[in-house]
Amino acid sequence: MNILSKNYINGQWIDWNGDTIDVHEAGTGEVIAKVPASGREEMEQAIAAADDAFESWSESSLEQRIKVLEQLHAGLKERGGEIAETICREVGMPIKLATGIQAGLPATITKTYLKMLPDFPFTEQSGNSEVQYAPVGVVGCVTPWNYPLHQVILKIVPAIAAGCTVVLKPSEIAPQSAYILAEILDGTDLPKGVFNLVCGPGHTAGDSLIKHPDVRMVSFTGSTRTGHLIAHSAADDFKRIALEMGGKSASVILPDADLGAAVKGTINNCLLNSGQTCTALTRMLVPADKHDEACELAAAAVAKMTPGNPLEETTRLGPLASAQQRDRVVDYIKLGIEEGATLVAGGPDAPEGCEKGYFVKATVFGNVKPDSRIAQEEIFGPVLSVIPYSDEKEAIRIANGTPYGLSGAVWSADQDRAKKVAGKLRTGQVFVNGGAFNPLAPFGGFGYSGIGREFGKWGLEEFLEVRSLQL
């Protein structure tokens, strides 16, 4: 059965005979799959199924929800190799990284909720009141292409754990892992209608999901522009929204930092998934007297990141996910040159030997002005802007000088000094001296980067309403 030619609604695979959307392989540009270009009718069927299933699932026992998530976790582990290769082909993340991140993180996140749920206080006492945490209702999940399964899991696992029902619209650029997920869930004890998948364009299927009155919450990850539209649409019937959007994160290297380690850490973060990461450290702030040395170190680091076939184990830098994204990034590189920044490494020309597929050279700009477009706008590609600063106060001002606030980094030989500067950054998370990513910590942004938090107990609370009984 070719499930990619179907939608998953009310516990059944529903045939689709209409127009389809081509899915391309990032490394070659070839069409590797076709998925439904579904519209309003299919989305309304899925929402009706989720609405019908909500009453019973919202009253299900915690043990029943945990059992389903245990079955999901087992399925994600069992099909990890297939998930990694699928996303590697769609998105371009090298297979070695895709195995650990694109396939590994969804299983890890599911496991964190399995550990958390038995002790989560769905009811608690406050004075003479019993405070109850109740599921919000039908949740519409709209997810991106850069971490296609990870972003889905961050929504549907806590939503299901909270007692909500879900309608998922995955990105049509990288939809196949969502179908694998639907297959796994179809093999669990999850009642029909609790999870539904409809694939289609944003202007039809997505718009219907966002605006439907029976959808009580929209959880979205993607561009700030689309998040803006969702926020306005949700206001019409006071839907709850959780928005995780763009970023233009700064890596602040203080004068006493180990410059080599800080530059290497920044480059590795910036180029992860070929820069197709909302938390990418795309602005590197360095003391003015260390600017040229930092640029030399950055150029040496990116020279080792030559683009190649993402299916090969030795590849460290893969292609971008689509021709549209490649062209957008190339246009930004050309813009950086026009704006007068110094091209330290890379450039707009296609990498040698990578004529097929959506490859872009890892690019470093020096002497970037803080108010230039390449320093202000999210490029979503392997492009780093090196910005000199005169003192710590100016560094903080530059770091906070964009509309975004999703992530950041601070580097210093003095951990307390680094923490003090990190505490002044208007951003949802800060990596201090290369601190490890923590899947139990809250994740989300300030300003144009979003509303709400994912991961850990904060991710679960997004899908719960608070009710108090006065006793």
- Domain identity same for 67 and 214: yes
Q: Which two tokens stand for residue 359?
A: 């490859």
- Domain identity same for 174 and 52: yes
- Domain identity same for 43 and 131: yes
- Domain identity same for 270 and 173: no
- Domain identity same for 208 and 317: no
Which sign, positive or negative, has the C-alpha torsion 81, 87, 93, 94? positive
Q: What is the CATH classification number for the domain harbouring 316?
A: 3.40.309.10
Q: What are the Cα distances from residue 120, in Å, to 138, 268, 468? A: 21, 36, 17
- Domain identity same for 207 and 345: no
Catalytic residue chosen out of the listed positions 88, 278, 295, 354: 278
How high is the pLDDT of residue 188?
Answer: 98
127 by Cβ neighbours in 10 Å (0-12 / 13-18 / 19+) ranks as exposed
Catalytic residue chosen out of the listed positions 244, 378, 454, 462: 244
- Report the alpha-carbon distance of residue 42 to residue 324 in Å, rounded: 27
How high is the pLDDT of residue 187?
Answer: 98
Q: Which two tokens stand for residue 308?
A: 């190649």
DSSP 110-123: HHHHHHHGGG--SE
- Domain identity same for 201 and 253: no
How high is the pLDDT of residue 340?
Answer: 97
- Domain identity same for 192 and 273: no
Number of domains in the chain: 2
- Report the alpha-carbon distance of residue 432 to residue 405 in Å, rounded: 16
Residue 50 inside a domain? The answer is yes
Flag whether the pTM goes above 0.75.
Answer: yes
| CA angle, 275 then 365 then 421, to 5° | 75
- Which SS3 state, helix, strand or coil, does residue 175 take? coil
Active site residue 88: no
- Report the alpha-carbon distance of residue 227 to residue 239 in Å, rounded: 14
- Report the alpha-carbon distance of residue 454 to residue 158 in Å, rounded: 9
Q: Which two tokens stand for residue 407?
A: 């992530």
How high is the pLDDT of residue 1?
Answer: 61
Active site residue 278: yes
Mean pLDDT per block of 10 residues along the chain (471 residues) reads 89 96 97 96 98 98 98 98 98 97 98 97 97 98 98 98 98 97 98 98 95 98 94 95 97 98 98 97 98 98 93 95 97 98 96 92 98 98 98 98 98 98 98 96 97 97 98 97
- Which SS3 state, helix, strand or coil, does residue 78 take? helix
- Report the alpha-carbon distance of residue 308 to residue 316 in Å, rounded: 8
Range of the domain at 345: 249-403+407-438
Q: Which helix (H) or strand (E) holds 366?
A: strand 363-366
How high is the pLDDT of residue 67?
Answer: 98
Residue 422 inside a domain? The answer is yes
- Domain identity same for 140 and 182: yes
Residue 443 inside a domain? The answer is no
Q: What is the CATH classification number for the domain harbouring 56?
A: 3.40.605.10
- Domain identity same for 411 and 452: no
How high is the pLDDT of residue 269?
Answer: 97
Q: What is the 3-state secondary structure (H, E, C) of 275-343?
A: HCCCCCEEEEEEEHHHHHHHHHHHHHHHHCCCECCCCCCCCCECCCCCHHHHHHHHHHHHHHHHCCCEE
- Domain identity same for 262 and 230: no
- Domain identity same for 354 and 224: no
